[in-house]
Amino acid sequence: MALRVVEVVVTPSPLRPGSQAHARCRVESDAEVRRVYALLPDGRAIEFHKVSETEFEVTEQVPWDAPLGTYPVTLVAETVSGERTFLPATITIA
């Protein structure tokens, strides 16, 4: 089966401490996608909400004490059968 994250948009860019970050992603899959989540640099996982069969989104506040810089984030998409795909990305806090 094919599963992949084909698009990710994070706004605003760059992110600012204390601001609301909004992320939206589009997934292509032969099977139903059960969940999408992001693994953040601080070790947390943030769950995206399903908007449609192929689109997921999340809005989360950037911590006020978030250090400025560019950080790796990994998006994970998972089907109902347990198949997973990973997409490395970066976020910038400025």
* Bridge partners for 28 per DSSP: 4
Place of tokens 């992320």: 23
- CB distance 36 to 84 below 8 Å: no
Q: Where are the domains of the chain?
A: 3-93
Q: What is the pTM of this model?
A: 0.91
Give the pLDDT of residue 66. Answer: 92
Comparing C-alpha atoms, which of 70, 74, 93 is closest to residue 12?
Answer: 93
Predicted confidence at residue 41, as pLDDT, reads 86
Residues of the chain with confidence (pLDDT) below 70? 1
Query: Which class does domain 3-93 fall in?
Result: mainly beta
- pLDDT attached to residue 1: 59
